[in-house]
Chain A
Amino acid sequence: MSQGLRTASGGRINRARPVRFTFDGRELRGFEGDTLASALLANGVHLVGRSFKYHRPRGVLTAGSEEPNAVVAVRRDAARVTPNLRATEVELYEGLEAHSQNRWPSLELDAGAINGLLSPFIPAGFYYKTFMWPRRAWQRLYEPRIRAAAGLGLAPEHPDPDSYSNRFAHCDVLVVGAGPAGLAAAQSAAASGARVMLCDEQPELGGSLLGEADPGASLGESGREWLAGTIRGLLANPRVTVLTRTTAFGYFPHNLIGLEQRLSDHLAQPDLKQPRERQWQVRARQVVLATGAIERPLVFPGNDRPGVMLAGAVRTYLNRYGVLAGERAVLITTHDEAYRSALDLRRAGATVTIVDARDGASSELAEAARREGLTVHTATTVIGTRGRLRVKSVQIQKLDAHGQARGATERIDCDLVLMSGGYTPSVHLFSQSRGKLAWSEGLQAFLPAESPERVRCAGACRGVFSAAAVRSDGESAGAQAARDSGLTVNTVIGEPQPVQSSGAAAPGDLPQPGGEPAAKAFVDWQNDVTSRDLLLAAREGFRSIEHVKRYTTTGMATDQGKTSNLNALAIVARQLGKSIPEVGLTTFRMPYTPVTFGSFAGYSRGELFDPIRTTPIHDWAARQGAVFEDVGLWKRARYFPRNGESLHAAVARECQAVRSGCGLFDASTLGKIEVVGKDAVTFMERLYVNGWTNLAVGRCRYGILLRDDGFIYDDGVVARIAEDRFHVTTTTGGAARVLAMMEDYLQTEWPDLSVWLSSTSEQWSVIALQGPRARQVLEALVQDVDLSAAALPHMGAATGRICGIPMRLFRVSFTGELGFEINVPADYGLAVWEAIHAAGEPHGITPYGTETMHVLRAEKGFVIVGQDTDGTVTPDDAGLTWAIGKQKPDFVGKRALERPAMHSPERKQLVGLLTAQPHVVLTEGAQIVLDARATPPTLPIGHVTSSYYSATLGRSIALALVRAGRSRMGQTLYVPMPGGNLAVQVTSPVFYDPKGSRLNA
């Protein structure tokens, strides 16, 4: 197809650079500089999509980001399909592949259009009324069907191969919008030396001026030169950052603005190494919003046929893209500005008939239109249109003196309808800044009033429309913003321009014979909401505009009602007999236009989704084939399978190695806090349940930390390194929160204590060497510490050197065997680990992982905080009363422990469970009941917290929290499972070496 509707010359397209593209598989041609919409129109394609609910044929309505109709998918490959793009924003590139949406089997012949015939039965809220019964069918039948029939584009099914970027920035003045107001504001702010950022959603600076036949001319004398010079000056200024293709999508507290910069969507061959989009978070001292205004459609029957467009959009297509959208046009207007479009079309060779609903439109422009020989019908309304896939005619009717549609009717044949109901200032971002809006009766629009943020508006978005005034308004706003950002402004700062109020039309629908439209008169194109839907909602009792919005879905589509909200509001207000400001506005929500999830993720994808923390020994373990598990952000070796061993086999082997020889375990992830100061022991006394005063230097103690409600918060071994220095360990996951809790108490409760806390979690690599042969292995590597049981008994601590490396050596055991934990500075962790491993080889040393560690400690009945406790477990519940310092006057949680409920014999207590069938391993988290024949619902008396197969014992073991558990020793309880209730016997939680003789060896 030829570009039959392309003008002979003019526009900002590059006619020397033809571009091929496809739309629904049809090959078409456009030019560099085209949008998909302008190129389609140039090819005479008005039908571009099917509507959301009724599947009505739809065409291009606008020329900007407010487009509700021309919503398409652009496909590069199977993974890179972007649905719901506005064709009016999609820049054409060689080979662009675009698809229409929401149609089957084709755009021209769409089966879903039957909804149009059914429409009397599917009014607003029909699914609330219709699909009430049966209830279950909603999930299984109704919702899936409705979702399949409605909706817009389809999400791609492959992971997104593109990358996305984040950037933070700061500036004195952020200017949003690079039309005449924004350019002037940026220029005047930059003239004061301000750091300026200027962003605009379009690929080119100029805003509304780009739609003029002669951009800049409307600004007055030397306007063209000003425009070119301003843009040049801004681009050359190193203090100014100019971002095109960048949408300010959200206004966040304290002048933080979210910008979405599209970097490569316009390129035929994007560099895959470069991000597709960059999301900016800009902290601006001052913000100038120069976001312009959006033309309002008119509401009349049949106003949605392809070929019905906004008047300003038609003018933009003509002037900017050299596209004559039609040759026989009818302009329907209630606003003077639209006459410019009629005159431009006329000059381009089209015939234009003007239908002005106002009585006696006699402005300068109307006169000019008549002088040009255009027919102008005043006091005339539109009562219908015809044309299936493209508008063919418009039915008009004269209004009487009361504005009622009672006069003669006439049909005007046409191939293009322009409409204009005036302009709605774009106050979206201002409103997001929590700015109050004020209704302007003269302008028939909401205008920005006060905002708690440091923001001001300039130009059309605050009701200043004439080009010259817009420029002055921008200059004034830019200079004021620079001044208020703290800079000295040496020029005279002009006053903001007065708001203009001439030629404004009231929003709402055009008068219809009998009051209501004979056919669908659309208010919200994208969600298929008609004026009748709104009237119905009001009649059915909805009073709040927020409720009307949700009931009818008006303004709730991806365009957020940019073109529809004010008309909807006016229609509802009239039906309710209220004024527009009385009814009020719905909330303006971010994002201004849709933003990709990818750009929110930014760099946080794949391996950078979260930091992956590894220990110095990690790579060694990986080389040994270790299987890792996530513990917080850490990777921990879970087990070390050999020759394709299963988890079960590897853990059995590792357990036996520790029990019979020696095992090596990387405990580097343990949290460590150095508590230092003359009051260190006092601090420890007040915080932990244990007594510390009597802990000698060179000794360790198992410490328990409670919250102030008396429940176990964390635990760990604490070593006293010096009188005034403790080496505190925490659980791996608890490291950060324990330090935070300590700091909280220190700073808020006990600021008088002379003690300081420093995290040393990553200073030390911790190597646990466990097993009856551990001492023999270590002796070969350590000279200056006596490792004998007499010199270094269980819970002894020493400092010394291992292979020349300084170490803190603790004789501690989480396995029940003779054991040591060797702390060395982290950069030496791997070397020391390898040295110990080598020295241990003659003794059958075996590296083991967290799974074996879990089994070994469970055999000994040692709890894991967070597994065997759940935030409702006291030390007594866990069988740890022995750890509490009895003589202590106070510690965190002590008073809570004195509450009677904490001593109830009915509390859940930690016990061991042995299954009747020794090889059955219980499921962790399984419930425990009293009755063998219990069936749900029944009251559980506890649950399994830890459960393993113990190779050492040749049977399964489990720990459980059971109501009054310690009084049930020997009792048989039941664990209901899908295969039946399993009998278990309650035992002590210590299954192995209850006397601890191995530990003390």
Chain B
Amino acid sequence: MRDLSAARQGPYIAASPLVRPLPPATRLLLRGNSEVMAAALGALGLEFAETACRAASASGRSALWLGPDERLLLAPQGAFSEVFELLRAALAGRPHSLVDVSHRQCALEVSGPQAGLLLNCGCPLDFDPAAFPVGMCTRTVLGKAEIVLWRTAEHRFHLEVWRSFAPYVSKVLALAARELTP
């Protein structure tokens, strides 16, 4: 019988300067109270904090605050089973919801000194480092699509986009990139 494990195919991403698609990843949506979050982040070796709209990140694993009871957990593609088992063990007996959304969305990286300017073509947020510091993450919009946006460095942003919106988002970014001065 054929094994299709290597036949993954993500959505179409329009090529443009400043934007690159990120490789497939493990994505888990964790819902639960603060104790659940503290236990989960602890198990993953991440620092737990209740600060809104902040991401914790270490050793390739990240937890993005999306709500008081919601974190988006990211890890390398191959780490799915390991992360899943760590969480299962840490969360046993605690009411929570853990849902695999690895394929629901894909990730884009927007980088360069004009990254914020480019995102402002369709995202109404203020990307001044004082208003949107490194480590900040939030649900927001890019044009008519919802995205999760996370600033990973002063000039670098990580976008999580639902797969069917990825062509649209990447095309809007490609169109707007033409206006940037090289």
The residue from B2, B117, B143 contacting A835, defined by CB atoms under 8 A apart: B2
Known: A634-B164, A676-B97, A758-B99. 16 other contacts (CB 8 A): A166-B122, A168-B122, A283-B124, A608-B168, A610-B144, A611-B168, A676-B31, A756-B97, A758-B29, A762-B105, A804-B1, A804-B4, A805-B4, A828-B9, A831-B7, A831-B9
Q: Within the assembled complex, what's the spacing in Å between the Cα atoms of A805 and B10?
A: 15
Question: A754, B95: Cβ atoms under 8 Å?
Answer: yes
Residues A602-643 near B (CB distance < 8 A) = 603-604, 607-608, 610-616, 633-634
Contact status B9-A603, CB under 8 Å: no
A residues within 8 A CB of B175? 163, 603, 608
* Interface range for B: 35 or more
For B164-180 the 0/1 string (1 means CB < 8 A from A) is: 11011101100110110
Given A608-B171, A803-B2, A674 contacting B7 (CB threshold 8 A): no
Specify which chain A residues have a CB less than 8 angstroms from the CB of B152 in the assembled complex.
Answer: none
Nearest-neighbor residue (CB-CB) of A761 within chain B: B104
> Which residues of A lie under 8 Å from residue B92 when comparing CB positions?
none
CA A755 to CA B69, docked complex, whole Å: 11
Across the interface, A763 reaches (CB within 8 A) one of B5, B104, B169, namely: B104
**Closest 6 CB pairs between A and B?**
A831-B7, A676-B97, A756-B31, A756-B97, A613-B164, A611-B168
Contact A832 B4 (CB under 8 A): yes
A763 touching B103, Cβ below 8 Å:
yes
Q: A762-B104, A826-B104 are in contact. Are A803 and B24 (CB under 8 A)?
A: no
Within 8 Å of chain B (Cβ to Cβ): is A830? yes
Contact B176 A603 (CB under 8 A): yes
**In the complex, chain A residues whose CB is within 8 Å of the CB of B97:** 674, 676-677, 755-756, 758
Q: Is the CB of A195 within 8 A of B178?
A: no
Let me know if B163 and A762 touch, CB within 8 A: yes
CA distance A195 to B128 in the complex (A): 10
A759 contacts partner chain B, Cβ-Cβ < 8 Å: yes
Q: Does A275 contact B (CB under 8 A)?
A: yes
Q: A550-604: which residues lie under 8 A (CB-CB) from chain B?
A: 603-604
Q: How far is the CB of B167 from chain A (nearest CB, A)?
A: 7
- A391 CA to B99 CA in the complex, in Å? 80
B interface residue numbers (CB < 8 A to A): 1-5, 7-11, 24, 29, 31-32, 69, 95-105, 117, 120-126, 128, 131, 143-145, 162-165, 167-169, 171-172, 175-176, 178-179
Instruction: Report the separation of the CA atoms of residues A678 and B32 in the bound assembly, to the nearest whole angstrom.
Output: 12
How long is the Cα–Cα vector from A825 to B178 in the complex, in angstroms?
Answer: 35
| Residues of chain A whose beta carbon lies under 8 Å from any beta carbon of chain B | 163, 165-170, 195, 273-275, 278, 281, 283, 603-604, 607-608, 610-616, 633-634, 674, 676-678, 754-756, 758-764, 780-781, 783, 803-805, 825-828, 830-832, 835
Determine the chain B residues whose CB is within 8 A of the CB of A825 once the complex forms. 100, 102-103
Tell me, rounded to whole Å, the shortest Cβ–Cβ distance linking B121 to chain A: 6
Do A828 and B144 have beta carbons less than 8 Å apart?
Answer: no
18 CB-based A-B contacts, threshold 8 Å: A168-B125, A169-B120, A603-B122, A603-B143, A603-B176, A608-B172, A616-B163, A633-B164, A676-B97, A677-B95, A678-B95, A754-B95, A762-B105, A763-B104, A803-B1, A828-B9, A831-B7, A832-B4
Q: Is the CB of A762 within 8 A of B103?
A: yes
Interface contact B179-A827, CB-CB below 8 Å: no
The listed residue with most A CB atoms (<10 A of its CB), out of B97, B125, B145, is B97
Q: Are A827 and B162 in contact (CB under 8 A)?
A: no
Contact of B101 among A614, A677, A760, A827 (CB under 8 A): A760
Asked if A827 and B99 sit within 8 Å, CB to CB, the answer is: no
A827 B24 Cβ-Cβ under 8 A: yes
Q: Give B22 Cβ to nearest chain A Cβ, in Å.
A: 14
**CA distance in complex: A607, B143 (Å):** 13
Across the interface, do A604 and B95 meet the contact criterion of CB distance under 8 Å?
Answer: no
Asked if B121 and A826 sit within 8 Å, CB to CB, the answer is no
Distance (whole angstroms) from the CB of A629 to the closest CB of chain B: 16
The answer to whether A805 touches B5, judged by C-beta atoms less than 8 angstroms apart, is yes
For the complex, give the distance between the alpha carbons of A676 and B3 in Å: 31
Instruction: Name the residue of chain A whose CB is nearest to the CB of B123.
Output: A168
Residue from B1, B98, B164 within 8 A of A762 (CB atoms): B164
Write the chain A residue with the least CB distance to B100: A763
Nearest opposing residue in chain B for A675, CB measure: B97
Q: Which residues of B contact A616 (CB under 8 A)?
A: 9, 11, 163
If A274-B179, A827-B24, A831-B9 touch, does A167 touch B3 (CB 8 Å cutoff)? Answer: no
A760 and B99 contacting across the interface, CB-CB below 8 Å: yes
Nearest CB on B from A763, distance (A): 4
Contact A166-B178, Cβ < 8 Å, known A615-B164, A825-B102? no
Task: Report Cα–Cα, A275/B99, bound state, in Å.
Answer: 43
B101 touches A763 (CB 8 A): yes
- One of A634, A678, A760, A830 near B104 (C-beta < 8 A): A760
Once the chains bind, are A283 and B171 in contact (CB under 8 Å)?
Answer: no
State in angstroms the CA–CA spacing of A634 and B179 once bound together: 30
Known A803-B1, A804-B3, A827-B9: A676·B98 in contact at CB below 8 Å: yes
CA distance A831 to B10 in the complex (A): 11
**Residue from the list A165, A611, A615 in contact with B145, Cβ < 8 A:** A611
State whether A826 touches B103 (Cβ < 8 A).
yes
In this complex, what residue of B is CB-closest to A782?
B1
A170 touches B128 (CB 8 A): yes
Residues of A within 8 A of B104 (CB): 759-763, 826
Closest chain B residue to A612, Cβ basis = B168
Q: A759 to B101, alpha carbons, bound, how many Å? A: 9
A371 CA to B38 CA, complexed, in Å: 88
B123: chain A residues at CB < 8 Å are: 168
- Residues on A with beta carbons closer than 8 Å to the beta carbon of B11: 616
For the complex formed, measure the closest distance between the CB of A919 and the CB atoms of chain B, giving whole angstroms. Answer: 40
- Given A167-B121, A607-B171, A762-B103, do A283 and B1 touch, yes or no (CB 8 Å)? no
Task: Provide the residues of chain B in CB contact with A781, threshold 8 Å.
Answer: 1-2
Instruction: Quote the shortest CB–CB distance from A445 to chain B (angstroms).
Output: 36
**A170, B126: Cβ atoms under 8 Å?**
yes
Q: Which residue of B lies closest to A765 (CB)?
A: B103
Closest to B32 in A: A756
Query: Chain A: which residue is nearest B171 at the CB level?
Result: A608
Let me know if A674 and B103 touch, CB within 8 A: no
Given contacts A165-B176, A168-B123, A169-B120, contact A826 B143 (CB under 8 A): no
Q: Are A283 and B126 in contact, with the CB atoms below 8 A? A: yes
Find out whether the CB atom of B176 lies under 8 angstroms from the CB atom of A604: no
Closest to A755 in B: B97
Closest to A280 in B: B120
Known contacts A283-B126, A763-B104; decide if A165 and B162 are in contact (CB<8 Å).
no
Decide if A804 touches B5 in the complex (CB within 8 Å): yes
In the assembly, what is the distance between CA of A827 and CA of B126, in Å? 33
Cα(A832)–Cα(B3), bound, Å: 10
CA distance in complex: A758, B71 (Å):
12
Determine whether the beta carbon of B121 is less than 8 Å from that of A835. no
A762 and B95 contact, CB distance less than 8 A: no
List, in ascending order, chain A residues with CB within 8 A of B169's CB.
Answer: 611
Residues of B near A780 (CB, < 8 A) are 1
Residue among B69, B123, B124 facing the most chain A CB atoms (10 A cut-off): B124
Taking a contact as CB atoms under 8 Å apart, the answer to whether A783 and B1 are in contact is yes
| Contact across chains for B143 and A608 when beta carbons are under 8 A apart | yes
Q: Please indicate the chain A residues that have their CB under 8 angstroms from the CB of B24 in the complex.
A: 827
Query: Assuming A603-B143, A763-B103, is B178 touching A274 (CB within 8 A)?
Result: yes
Q: Let me know if A803 and B163 touch, CB within 8 A.
A: no
CB < 8 Å neighbour of B10 from A281, A758, A827? A827
Which one of A195, A614, A676, A783 contacts B99 once the chains associate, using CB atoms below 8 Å? A676
- Measured between alpha carbons, how far is A762 from B97 in the docked complex, in Å? 18
CB A174 to nearest CB in B, in angstroms, measures: 13
Residue from the list B9, B143, B163 in contact with A830, Cβ < 8 A: B9
Residues of chain A within 8 A (CB-CB) of B128 are: 170, 195
Do the beta carbons of A803 and B4 come within 8 Å of each other? yes
**Residue numbers in B under 8 Å from A761 (CB-CB):** 104
Chain B nearest CB from A703 CB (Å) reads 19
Docked complex Cα distance between A597 and B14 (Å): 27
Residue of chain B at shortest CB distance from A619:
B12
**Smallest CB–CB gap between A267 and chain B, Å?**
15
Shortest CB distance B85–A (Å): 16
